Amino acid sequence: MARLLVIMPSGEIYDHDSVRWYQYQDVQRSIDRYHNIGDAFVFDSSLKLLNFDKIGILEINKPDWPSLDRLREEYDYVLLRGSNYIHGEMEWHDTAAVLKKLGLPVLAFGIGAQAPVKGRMELSEATQEVLRVIADLSTSIGVRGAFSAEVLADLGIHNVRIVGCPTAFRRLDPDMNIKLGPLADIEKVGVTLRREVSPTYAQNIERYLTFHRDLVKSLARRFDTVLMAQGEVEEKKLVFGTDAQKEEAIASLRANGWASKWYLDPEIERLYRERLFYSDVVADYETLVRQQHLVLGYRLHGNLMALANGVPSVYFTYDSRTAEFAETYRIPSFDVFRDGGFVLEDYWEQWRYDGFNAAWRNVYDETRKFLIENKIDNKLIDRATRTSGAGMLKVA
């Protein structure tokens, strides 16, 4: 069993490999702060793929420098959970210096780049240095997709393998396969919400929000629909808040220029009050998606949680990050900024999911190769050579 150090964890660990937000039962503690629970999905999923018997946290903001010599002896490698790290605004603190002094191998598990709508992506010297340090300490870097690999190649980093995201494989089922039934049988639908948006990455905010609004309403009129939020403050208050906080949340949405103009209307407000879901516990999302017949929407990891559990999903792409993800896994997707509307019937076609099933298997195999070549003890089995009763793969 391995001993691992985690950079930038996203939640507290319980039951060995499960993740929830810090002090999750004290909802008032973080109700006024945004945190993306999707990051916790990735952290939770990463742990579920790995064999380890000890885990610690590696501080990169105000690190304890004298402790690094001890940590080098106590741990085997450093885990950098997958996230959107490669962009112009990333703050790394002392990561490069800490990793160089520590000298342990680094498992960069599904990191990705995000391009702005206009102009070239400008990476800081600190980001470039961190990426080069990780490349030097690793056999390979695991990236989200081809675009992220190209960005690293432009920096002269070529020891890269495309692994998507560990969330896709969290069930540890090498035979995962999505098979569509009749659309007429679909009753329960989850819609993953992303109301907050940046003009840096989404090219047309009005189109983004009005399309989002109309999609939610059309699905809610047709199906038994749950709206799945992932951390925006107003949405959290509507789920967890006191009566006063719920009204405060609605007032805040009404006062928000973009939301009031292009998103919030009486029907959306009613749906927000009646059908909104949020949790600070990753397992709660997995339980929810397994009860749905279809999950679709704007959230990269919320949709992937469904696909990992064999539930069909459609991605709505709006930036380089979501488009890259859909491309890596060949997930049925709709470009929010294309002309025309979304017709679910056009996407309820088995050939689309056959493409996803094949891509999923390929990325599963690449992820296993990635972990093996980095000498990471893991739970992914060899699909090609497995026999009945095959268990966990152990790599020394």
For 349-364, the pLDDT digits (tens) are 999 999 999 999 999 9
Question: Is there a contact between 336 and 200 (Cβ–Cβ < 8 Å)?
Answer: no
Is residue 221 predicted with pLDDT exceeding 90?
yes
Place of tokens 């050579």: 385
Question: Tell me, what's the pLDDT at 19?
Answer: 98
Every domain of the chain and the residues it spans: 2-173+360-373, 183-355
- As a whole number, mean pLDDT of residues 215-244 equals 97
Question: Tell me, what's the pLDDT at 160?
Answer: 98
Is residue 384 predicted with pLDDT exceeding 90?
no
Q: Where are the beta strands (DSSP E) in the chain?
A: 2-7, 12-14, 18-20, 52-58, 77-81, 106-111, 141-143, 160-162, 188-192, 224-228, 276-277, 294-297, 313-317, 333-335
Place of tokens 């980095």: 374
95 Rama sector, left if φ>0, alpha if ψ -120 to 50, beta otherwise: alpha
Question: Tell me, what's the pLDDT at 390?
Answer: 41
257: which DSSP letter?
Answer: H
For 162-201, the pLDDT digits (tens) are 999 999 999 999 999 999 999 999 999 999 999 999 998 8
pLDDT band with cut points at 50, 70 and 90 for residue 389: very low
Question: Tell me, what's the pLDDT at 392?
Answer: 41
Question: Is there a contact between 166 and 112 (Cβ–Cβ < 8 Å)?
Answer: no
Ranges 315-329, 359-373, 378-392: which has the least confidence: 378-392
Question: Tell me, what's the pLDDT at 271?
Answer: 98
First-to-last C-alpha distance (Å) of the chain: 8
Euclidean distance between CA atoms 151 and 125, whole angstroms: 14
pLDDT band with cut points at 50, 70 and 90 for residue 117: confident
Question: Tell me, what's the pLDDT at 72?
Answer: 97
Fold agreement between 2-173+360-373 and 183-355: yes
For the domain bounded by 2-173+360-373, which CATH number is listed? 3.40.50
140 Rama sector, left if φ>0, alpha if ψ -120 to 50, beta otherwise: beta
Closest alpha carbon to 147 in 305, 287, 320: 320
For residue 64, the one-letter residue type is D
For the domain bounded by 183-355, which CATH number is listed? 3.40.50
